[in-house]
Amino acid sequence: MALVLMVSFGSALAQPRPKGREVAGTVVDADQKPIANATVTVSDGGPSAVTAADGTFKLTGVATTNLVVEIKGDGFTTRTIPLLAAPTALSLQVVLVKPPPPAEAPQRTVAGVVTDGKRQPLADARVVVRGTQLTATTAADGTFAIAGVPAGELTLDVEAANQPPTAFPVGADKTAVAVVVGQVEPAAPPKPTTRTVIGRVLDPETGEPVVAAQILVPATGAVIFTEADGSYAIPDAPAEKFVMEVSAGERETRTLDVPAGQTTYDVKLAIVQGEQIVIEGRAPAILKTNLANGASVISDKDLNRVTSATVDGAMQGKLAGANLQFNSGAPGGGAQLRLRGISTINGQSSPLYVVDGVIISNVAVPSGANAITAAAAGGNASNQDNAVNRLADLNPNDIENVEVLKGASAAALYGSKAANGVVVITTKRGRNGENKVEVTQRFGMAQVSNTLGSRHFDSAQEVMDAFGAMSPLVNIYNEAGGRTFDHEAEITRTAFTTETVASASGGVEKGNYYGSVLVRDEPGVVIGTFYKKQTGRVAVGYKLGERVNLSFTANLLHSTSDRGLTNNDNTGTSYYVALSGTPSFVDLTKKNGVFPANPAIGSGTNPLQSVELLQNREDVWRLIGGGNLSIDAYKSKTSNVRLLGNFGADSFTQKNNLLSPPELFYEPTDGLSGTSIDATTSNLNWNSGAGITWGYTPEDKKFESALSAGLTYESVDLNSVYVTAQNLTAGQPSVDSGTSVNIQQNRLRTKDSGLYLQEELALLDRKLSVLGGILGERSSLNGNTEKYFFYPKVAAVYSLIQNDSSDDKPGPKPVFETVRVRGAYGEAGNRPNYGQKFTPLNATGNIDGNAGIVLGLNAGDSDIEPERQREVEVGTDIVSRDQRVAAEVTMYQRSISNLLLQRALPTSTGFTNEFFNGGSMRNLGLEMALQVRPVQGKVDWTSRAILTLNRSNVTSLPDGIDKFDVTAVGFGTGLGAYRIEKGKSATQIVSTINEDGDVAVVGNGEPDFRVGWSNTVTVDRFTFGLLLDWQQGSDIINLTRLLYDGSNNSPDKEAAAKRLEALSKNDFRPYIEDGTFVKLREISVSYDLPKKLAEQIGPLKTLQFGLMARNLLTLTNYSGLDPEVSNFGTQPIGRNYDVAPYPPSRSFWLSITAGL
């Protein structure tokens, strides 16, 4: 307990010096309760006093010299307080603590053997503990044992027939002795039989100590626990080779051989990564270090080093084998993760996301803005609405790690949902013996990081040359008198952001808990836009007896946003489309509180008015929950049988309310003034599974086996209803006020079921691991819903070098700790999209004015099947012994057959299109990761680089089809199109190149390669972080530049004239640009306050301060706002269309984290 003094000094100005001073105060106990009858005495014969019932006392006439005050209380530890010389009065508050209860005197049993000088045992010898009545008589073999011996040093008096009396000293820590009586004959010095082994138990990822880890030495029965710094010491360990078992709550158990002669042994004890086994039973059950695939894993620290509103934003630049890009800079997300290249042309393009065993939805539901922009030629929903993929709802701060299964060889047991990879997210849990509370407060700001600019006109003649002599813009230019306006700046702002994160976690032997909350308020850099998120999460685990484990998790998420109106439009309504045609001399600001119409735009759209009045609101409520059950049905020395069960559900409701009031200048142009859209989407995903695992290790431990089998079931139910009202009566925002109301409903329901079997073997002292598995799956999306499609996988990994991680083995030290080679083969699928097997019946039309049902224009294919993906990968992993260098290289070939294609049908069929299976494509790729620690010690520097390279090729197309353009995106070859052609890249871009209309390859949407380079430097209590993201290549179709050029408003007017001249000759190539960039994704610095200082600031254990920035700098030659852009959102093929997107931003943050 600390002694607390509170000192106050009275005023001594202009007062005569007193003969003595007054000392008063209060004496309390550790609970702040007063202590009565305590004696307070001043040293050197000074005055004394006794405390009253309220613990107060007063001493007068106390000498003004240096002295000591002594405080005594009955049943409390006496305290002394030094007082410095002073003439002024003094007030004390004294805390007395009770002494700890006296410890019981420890006892021990002293055992040993008594021999004569020739080392022969002496029977019937009498052994007495000197000063006690404790005695024993030796047996025939000379052994004895005396129980109840006091701790501490002692002497044994030994008497034996025909031998001199002997006194034998025994050390305080000794329990076994060998007593020699009489003359000792010389003998060879014995070899030492014991030694002391010391070391530390550490987390392999973070290097943090593992506290209270248990170390068992079966040979001696010794049980040791690690200290706060992870250190341990095993005294009296056998001198010869012995085994120790190291374990800790929530961590793996390791059985290690300690070689003879070794005295230092550091152990790395990882957190158990078996969550997927409990959840699905589909992950390998033998140690994760034996995985045969190149896996990308992002830890919590790497994921959240710099705060991000969304999980995909936090993952950028950190995954080998991944191409992760945002569609625009709008707040609230909207990104696409593509793993190992293009896997489909018309199928589903998103990876499968699994959160704690719950298969969650990552659907992107359009807002319905297309009803205003007509980007897709009218209608309610469009892939050009700048929609958010629902992964954005998750709280990145809740995540323990993200593991990405990139190919079929790793993800085969997820079947027809795994063609685009599987992202397995494990969230945080409480841990046994670790109760803690952590609160983080962040304050940030965001600024536009790039602008387009516009043309500067130097004369009225220049305006006439651009817009015509009779254009009203000529008079406007003259009236401006040389003034110009920065319209981009007028619709943007510096946004101030806040984020509060709090969590509490802990556990005991039988259970654990984790809870968290998040509140984030993020205004967008475009006026009127924003993103707000609130989340709450609870996770509980409980152990029933020794065999049953239960865990539950529930995550409630809420977000609201307004993403404004950007991207393509055909009505001159979106912000940057309107800006592209507005010269800088046009004044769009309010006049007498009223916005003027924009004279440069036919619709009169004033973007300043639009950002103030237009609302594009989205409100999402989401609940993700699940439970897992594990029962150890049978356990023996060699076998372990476990029964598994899981259930998960993901439900969200998305409300979109878009209001374009009649006051907006573009509204009356269609004759229907004012638009209100009320859209509601409800979704329910749920999945369940049951399985069994059998682990078997024979007593000779020549091999290990893990066999698992189980059943799975998944269901998706998505329902979207759009109500679009136009020509709003009196401008009322409700949809029932419109004179023209259109209702559209889209429903989607799928059901999948499967069964799997998997076997894994560890052979040759765990140097070789082999794995085989198969999943049989059927889906309601297939033409034949009863047919099972089977997806096998096989894999193997062999460790050429496999050393333990100890640091003090005798003999020469090996250079490498691990060198292993691996190979894998697997198959996965990609289900048809909903409805491709059906011929639709439209019930919204009429026949001769009568309600009726008519056939749709797309013919269904009752034989349609999933695409089939076959992947082979090989790789190697190398880790140096000192952990300074770790390298991973993976090469893969992915072949996709049975592609989902769309073909035109003869008009005589009554249909226009049909989806069917045909054709194939291939991806070849290379993934590399290199981590080095060039500096270790007081300064620690870890640097990690990842490389991703992929090349695609269309290997075959159905008979009669040589090539075709992707029609789900794009605007035709005259404006650049993605073309599928046999023998060519699946992401090639073609366009017309001359007046004859010849079409040629002009670019490719796939990057040449991507590199992520992260660095972490720790200096004392400072930690510095930096992440660079480099994309080489990836061509972009820059239609925003075309919009500015076509409006004579580009800042580079001479170059714009040349581009337009080429376009006039049907050559679109000037608008295909290289999207190479280098981005400073993250930069951060943090400082951890010393623990002693933190504890003095309230009830704190830790306190950390941090400064960080995201997307601080972009180096690129691309002329658009951002080379990360996709007008068509998350499409399989067809990214990289730049059409008036939301501007990018950079953000800065101050962070304070307190641990309680």
DSSP 563-611: --S-S--SSS-SHHHHHHT--TT---S-BTTBPPP-TTSTT---HHHHH
Which pLDDT value is given to residue 1001? Answer: 96
Q: Residue 725: which pLDDT band, with cuts at 50, 70 and 90?
A: very high
- In sequence order, the β-bridge partners of residue 658 are 616, 677
Considering only 292-296, 320-324, 471-475, 954-958, which range has the smallest mean pLDDT? 292-296
Name the maximum alpha-carbon separation found in the chain: 137
CA 1140 to chain centroid? 31
Q: Residue 10: which pLDDT band, with cuts at 50, 70 and 90?
A: very low
Fold of 21-95: Immunoglobulin-like (2.60.40)
Rounded average pLDDT over 812-828: 84
Which pLDDT value is given to residue 273? Answer: 42
Rounded average pLDDT over 509-533: 94
The answer to whether the beta carbons of residues 1000 and 993 sit under 8 Å apart is yes
Q: Which two tokens stand for residue 762?
A: 């560890």
Which pLDDT value is given to residue 1071? Answer: 97
Spatial neighbors of 605 by CB under 8 A, at least 6 apart, are 572, 573, 578, 598, 664, 665, 666
Which pLDDT value is given to residue 1040? Answer: 95
The answer to whether the beta carbons of residues 159 and 125 sit under 8 Å apart is yes
> What would the pLDDT profile of 700-724 be if each residue is shown by its tens digit?
888 999 999 999 999 999 999 999 9
The answer to whether the beta carbons of residues 1109 and 1082 sit under 8 Å apart is yes
pLDDT at 414 over 70: yes
pLDDT at 378 over 60: no
Which pLDDT value is given to residue 422? Answer: 87
- In sequence order, the β-bridge partners of residue 1033 are 1007
Q: Residue 278: which pLDDT band, with cuts at 50, 70 and 90?
A: very low
Domain with CATH 2.60.40.4130 in the chain: 107-180
Chain mean pLDDT for the chain: 87
Ramachandran bin of 1127, using left for φ above 0, alpha for ψ from -120 to 50, beta for the remaining angles: alpha
Considering only 402-416, 426-440, 463-477, 965-979, which range has the smallest mean pLDDT? 402-416
Rounded average pLDDT over 680-687: 96
Cα 740–743–749 angle (5° rounding)?
170
Q: Which residue has the higher pLDDT, 930 or 845?
A: 930
Domain with CATH 2.40.170.20 in the chain: 390-831+866-898+920-956+966-1155
Q: Which residue has the higher pLDDT, 653 or 268?
A: 653
The helix (run of H) or strand (run of E) holding residue 1043 is helix 1039-1046
The answer to whether the beta carbons of residues 543 and 507 sit under 8 Å apart is no
The answer to whether the beta carbons of residues 813 and 440 sit under 8 Å apart is no
Cα 96–101–102 angle (5° rounding)?
130
In the 8-state DSSP scheme, what is residue 397? G
Distance CA 858, CA 914 (A): 6
Q: Which two tokens stand for residue 566?
A: 């950007």
Q: Which of 359-368, 709-718, 853-862 tops mean pLDDT?
A: 709-718
Q: Which two tokens stand for residue 87?
A: 């003439």
Neighbours of 756 (CB within 10 A): 24
Distance CA 583, CA 569 (A): 19
Q: Residue 516: which pLDDT band, with cuts at 50, 70 and 90?
A: very high
Q: For tokens 């496999």, name the residue.
A: 802
Catalogue the E-assigned strands of 459-527: 495-508, 511-523
pLDDT at 300 over 90: no
Read off φ and ψ for residue 415, nearest 5 degrees: 65, -130
pLDDT at 652 over 80: yes
Catalogue the E-assigned strands of 959-1101: 963-965, 977-981, 988-992, 999-1004, 1007-1019, 1022-1033, 1035-1038, 1072-1074, 1077-1088
**In percent, how much of the chain has pLDDT > 90?**
51
Domain with CATH 2.60.40.1120 in the chain: 194-268
Q: Which residue has the higher pLDDT, 294 or 759?
A: 759
Which pLDDT value is given to residue 4? Answer: 37
Considering only 415-419, 775-779, 809-813, 1087-1091, which range has the smallest mean pLDDT? 809-813
Rounded average pLDDT over 291-306: 76
Q: Are strands 296-299 and 322-326 parallel, antiparallel or unpaired?
A: unpaired
Q: Domain 390-831+866-898+920-956+966-1155's class?
A: mainly beta
Query: Quick one: 1041 exposed, middle or buried, by C-beta within 10 A (0-12, 13-18, 19+)?
Result: buried
CATH 2.40.160.20 fits 107-180, yes or no: no
Rounded average pLDDT over 619-637: 94
Considering only 76-80, 467-471, 710-714, 748-752, which range has the smallest mean pLDDT? 76-80
Rounded average pLDDT over 1103-1130: 92
Rounded average pLDDT over 93-108: 77
Q: Which residue has the higher pLDDT, 377 or 115?
A: 115
Rounded average pLDDT over 782-792: 93
Distance CA 609, CA 831 (A): 45
Which pLDDT value is given to residue 804? Answer: 54
Considering only 214-223, 257-266, 633-642, 981-990, which range has the smallest mean pLDDT? 214-223
The answer to whether the beta carbons of residues 248 and 214 sit under 8 Å apart is yes
Which pLDDT value is given to residue 171? Answer: 85
pLDDT at 966 over 90: no
> What would the pLDDT profile of 154-177 be if each residue is shown by its tens digit?
899 999 988 889 898 988 878 888
Which pLDDT value is given to residue 808? Answer: 44
Neighbours of 313 (CB within 10 A): 20
Which has the closest alpha carbon to 673: 739, 750, 767, 578?
739
> What would the pLDDT profile of 1128-1137 be if each residue is shown by its tens digit?
877 788 888 9
Neighbours of 1115 (CB within 10 A): 11
pLDDT at 57 over 60: yes
pLDDT at 178 over 90: no
Which pLDDT value is given to residue 810? Answer: 46
CATH architecture of structural domain 194-268: Sandwich (2.60)
Distance CA 375, CA 387 (A): 14
The answer to whether the beta carbons of residues 570 and 652 sit under 8 Å apart is no
Helix (H, G, I), strand (E, B), or coil: what is residue 962? coil
Distance CA 497, CA 351 (A): 30
CA 842 to chain centroid? 44
Rounded average pLDDT over 982-991: 94
Distance CA 272, CA 400 (A): 12
**In percent, how much of the chain has pLDDT > 70?**
92
Spatial neighbors of 392 by CB under 8 A, at least 6 apart, are 309, 310, 311, 312, 332, 333, 334, 335, 559
Which pLDDT value is given to residue 1009? Answer: 95
Q: Residue 290: which pLDDT band, with cuts at 50, 70 and 90?
A: very low
pLDDT at 14 over 60: no
Spatial neighbors of 159 by CB under 8 A, at least 6 apart, are 125, 126, 128, 165, 166
Q: Residue 191: which pLDDT band, with cuts at 50, 70 and 90?
A: low
Ramachandran bin of 577, using left for φ above 0, alpha for ψ from -120 to 50, beta for the remaining angles: alpha
The answer to whether the beta carbons of residues 1008 and 949 sit under 8 Å apart is yes
Which has the closest alpha carbon to 663: 596, 591, 755, 740?
596
| Rounded alpha-carbon distances, angstroms, from residue 957 to 118, 425, 832, 922 | 94, 37, 18, 12
The answer to whether the beta carbons of residues 80 and 105 sit under 8 Å apart is no
Rounded average pLDDT over 389-408: 88
Rounded average pLDDT over 1038-1047: 95
Spatial neighbors of 682 by CB under 8 A, at least 6 apart, are 651, 652, 653, 654, 718, 719
Considering only 76-85, 461-470, 1014-1023, which range has the smallest mean pLDDT? 76-85
Q: Which two tokens stand for residue 179?
A: 């007593």
Q: For the chain, first and last CA: distance in Å?
A: 18
Which pLDDT value is given to residue 294? Answer: 52
